[in-house]
């Protein structure tokens, strides 16, 4: 009876809105602010079970398109604080990847009934591989926006994230999707009863369970004594000036903003940190890398930082818009979004320049194609990207600690953090400003990516935000500190000091993922290729005759 209802095309009118809405709600629930990460093991089951019954392609297009777009419009709703148009466009582009996977699932899943165990397993592996490839491709397509990979749903459940140290965060997504598909295959065989006796046990489901358990090898390593020996690294002072975005660059508020930054820095410094952490672009005017002394705002920034470091007797690392006249043929300055590190020694300032710029925020892609875009995105010639991932050297007495810097959304790109660690970074420092996006889910969603980078590279990650999310994450993805006030919110002006530790086992060691990168993508590609060959050449599914 259930099978007849699901298979009859006239009943699809009931399933189209229900499947689409349930799929969207389940996926939305995985991430902040709902954070119901446990749903990650079944969130695809209603959709994929429906697809197993070969619904009409027109219905799939409606369900896939509407569900995908609704999901990302809700998850990215905080973007409206910056641009309503950008919110819609980014949501639409990101939704296309989920939509593409739904079409792949509709192509492959209805043939499960006709295949043997090997064919069914290959189809499920191919679909999991397709998810991984599509998720990874978001790192590059349309300038790159790999926001909220599926594995980010586990950011507060680090035990389940440990395989990322071997196969990366996208590899964890592969395991999660394959498990969902295994559950689907099991339910499909129970409901359709197309096999009898022991054959109804769905070996593909047990393989999915086995793969999930096997990935727990990372959990085993997680609890080993040799990986849990800690040593103190330094005491970090997190400073949140929380200057509203519409006041940050107001020339009339220049002195007030500097005073806020200085007062908050000195208050945190009273708690005895070894280093003070500032958020992204915290200074109210650009910071010249090379400039003569003077009374104008830009020239004063170097003096301001030097004086504050001497007064606090504490090194400062933080974000600033930097400028230099590095190109002789260009009359204006070269602008960059940067992080500086000022040690106690005079003349010891070091710089890191942001490598991955925000399109239409820090530069205009293919600006020669649309010169009129300046009227809508008034950023002039934009920023110049940096090229070096060389860590900044923090001097604490006779000890030197290498900080790998990531600015703003650079921590959502696995390859940037990986390169910083390969260059020698012992700690990753994320300088960001989520005040652009209101006091909503944006800051928490952003922080989830730092957890992934910590596990992948087995390095502590420190984050400093203008008004939150600030804190630190250890090598195993445990959130060891979230900077909050008495009301428990991350959105406030203030700060704190916390001792940063590191696991002695990972000192001067690289994780398997850090050494070999996205090697598991090759495995996923092989699965997808095998699934395509099976579907097209070896065993094409029979045409499904539908009852009217």
Here the CATH number for the domain that contains residue 443 is 3.60.110.10
Confidence class for position 297, pLDDT limits 50, 70, 90? very low
Confidence class for position 6, pLDDT limits 50, 70, 90? low
Residue bearing tokens 């939704």: 95
306 and 193 within one domain: no
Residue 465: its H or E element: strand 461-465
Among 206, 40, 205, residue whose Cα is nearest residue 131: 40
From start to end of 158-253, where are the E strands? 230-240
pLDDT at 479: 96
Residue 504: inside a domain, yes or no? yes
Pairing type for strands 471-473 and 494-503 reads: unpaired
500 and 359 within one domain: yes
Pairing type for strands 316-324 and 287-288 reads: parallel
The answer, yes or no, to whether residue 518 has pLDDT greater than 60, is: yes
What pTM did the predictor assign?
A: 0.91
Residue 282: inside a domain, yes or no? yes
492 and 358 within one domain: yes
Confidence class for position 327, pLDDT limits 50, 70, 90? very low
Confidence class for position 546, pLDDT limits 50, 70, 90? very low
Q: Is the pLDDT higher at 329 or at 467?
A: 467
- 15 close to 50: Cβ distance less than 8 angstroms: yes
Angle between helices 117-137 and 520-533 (to 10 degrees): 130
Pairing type for strands 471-473 and 461-465 reads: antiparallel
Domain count, the chain: 2
396-449 tens-digit pLDDT = 988 999 999 999 999 999 999 999 999 999 999 999 998 888 889 999 999 999
Give the domain extent around 427: 228-509
109 and 244 within one domain: no
Q: Span 79-102, mean pLDDT? A: 92
Residue 548: inside a domain, yes or no? no
522 and 443 within one domain: no
Q: Span 297-322, mean pLDDT? A: 86
Confidence class for position 547, pLDDT limits 50, 70, 90? very low
146 and 268 within one domain: no
- 251 close to 213: Cβ distance less than 8 angstroms: no
243 and 133 within one domain: no
237 and 218 within one domain: no
Q: Can you tell me the distance from the alpha carbon of 205 to that of 187, in angstroms, rounded to the nearest whole number?
A: 9
Among 358, 357, 364, 356, residue whose Cα is nearest residue 380: 364
The answer, yes or no, to whether residue 376 has pLDDT greater than 80, is: no
Q: Which two tokens stand for residue 548?
A: 């009217």
Among 498, 431, 544, residue whose Cα is nearest residue 192: 544
Q: Span 262-278, mean pLDDT? A: 96
Sheet of 399-407, strand order: 392-396, 399-407, 427-432, 461-465, 471-473, 479-482
281 and 205 within one domain: no
523 and 475 within one domain: no
405 and 423 within one domain: yes
Residue 161: inside a domain, yes or no? yes
Residue 414: inside a domain, yes or no? yes
107-149 tens-digit pLDDT = 999 988 888 888 999 999 999 999 999 999 999 887 789 999 9
What is the torsion angle, in degrees rounded to the nearest 10, for the CA atoms of residue 469, residue 397, residue 392 and residue 345?
Answer: 110
Angle among Cα 84, 85, 88 to the nearest 5 degrees reads: 90
pLDDT at 197: 55
3-state secondary structure of 512: helix
Q: Which residues are registered as beta bridge partners of 268?
A: none
488 and 414 within one domain: yes
Residue 547: inside a domain, yes or no? no
pLDDT at 244: 85
High-pLDDT (> 70) share of the chain, %: 84
Most confident of the ranges 1-15, 58-72, 327-341, 534-548:
58-72
Among 46, 60, 44, residue whose Cα is nearest residue 106: 60
Residue 39: inside a domain, yes or no? yes
Q: Which two tokens stand for residue 338?
A: 């940067």
**498, exposed or middle or buried, with CB in 10 Å at 0-12, 13-18, 19+?**
middle
Q: Which two tokens stand for residue 356?
A: 């991955």
pLDDT at 82: 82
pLDDT at 49: 94
3-state secondary structure of 327: coil
Pairing type for strands 230-240 and 494-503 reads: antiparallel
Residue 544: inside a domain, yes or no? no
**pLDDT, the chain, mean:** 86
């Amino acid at each position: 009876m259930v099978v007849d209802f699901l298979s009859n095309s006239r009943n699809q009118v009931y399933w189209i809105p229900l499947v689409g809405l349930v799929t969207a709600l389940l996926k939305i629930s995985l991430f902040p602010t709902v954070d119901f990460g446990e749903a990650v093991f079944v969130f695809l089951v209603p959709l994929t079970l429906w697809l197993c019954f070969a619904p009409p392609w027109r219905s799939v297009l409606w369900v896939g398109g509407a569900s995908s777009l609704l999901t990302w419009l809700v998850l990215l709703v905080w973007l409206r604080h910056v641009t309503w148009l950008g919110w819609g466009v980014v949501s639409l582009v990101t939704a296309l990847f989920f939509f593409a996977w739904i079409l792949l699932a509709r192509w492959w899943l209805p043939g499960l009934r006709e295949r043997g165990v090997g064919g069914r397993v290959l189809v499920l592996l191919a679909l999991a591989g397709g998810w991984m490839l599509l998720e990874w491709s978001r790192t590059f397509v349309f300038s790159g926006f790999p926001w909220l990979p599926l594995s980010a749903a586990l950011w507060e459940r680090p035990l389940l994230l440990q395989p990322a140290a071997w196969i990366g965060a996208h590899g964890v997504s592969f395991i999660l999707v394959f498990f969902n598909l295994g559950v689907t295959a099991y339910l499909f065989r129970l409901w359709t009863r197309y096999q009898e006796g022991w054959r109804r046990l769905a070996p593909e489901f047990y393989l999915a369970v086995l793969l999930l358990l096997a990935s727990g090898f990372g959990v085993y390593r997680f609890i080993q004594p040799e990986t849990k020996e800690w040593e103190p690294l330094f005491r970090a002072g997190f400073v949140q000036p929380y200057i509203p975005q519409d006041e940050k660059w107001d020339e009339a508020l220049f002195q007030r903003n500097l005073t806020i930054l200085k007062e908050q820095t000195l208050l945190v410094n009273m708690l005895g940190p070894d280093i003070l952490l500032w958020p992204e672009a915290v200074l109210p005017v650009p910071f010249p890398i090379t400039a003569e002394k003077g009374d104008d705002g830009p020239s004063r920034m170097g003096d301001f930082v030097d004086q504050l470091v001497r007064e606090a007797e504490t090194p400062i690392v933080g974000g600033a818009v930097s400028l230099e006249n590095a190109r002789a043929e260009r009359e204006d300055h070269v602008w960059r979004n940067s992080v500086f590190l000022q040690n106690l020694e005079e003349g010891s300032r070091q710089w890191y320049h942001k490598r991955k710029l925000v399109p239409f925020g820090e530069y205009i892609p293919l600006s020669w194609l649309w010169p009129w875009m300046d009227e809508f995105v008034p950023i002039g010639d934009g920023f110049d990207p940096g090229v070096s991932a060389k860590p900044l050297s923090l001097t604490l007495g006779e000890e030197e600690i290498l900080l790998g810097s990531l600015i703003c959304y650079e921590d959502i790109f696995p390859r940037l953090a990986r390169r910083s660690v390969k260059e020698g970074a012992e700690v990753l420092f994320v300088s960001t400003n989520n005040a652009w996006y209101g006091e909503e889910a944006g800051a928490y969603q952003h922080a989830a990516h730092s957890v992934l980078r910590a596990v992948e590279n087995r390095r502590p990650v420190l984050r400093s935000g203008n008004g939150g999310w600030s804190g630190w994450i250890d090598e195993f993805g445990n959130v060891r500190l979230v900077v909050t006030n008495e009301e428990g919110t991350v959105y406030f002006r203030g700060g704190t000091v916390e001792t940063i530790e590191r696991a002695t086992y990972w000192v001067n060691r690289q994780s398997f993922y850090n050494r070999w990168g996205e090697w598991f993508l090759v495995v996923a590609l092989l699965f997808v290729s095998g699934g395509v060959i099976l579907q097209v050449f070896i065993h094409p599914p029979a045409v499904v005759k539908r009852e009217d």
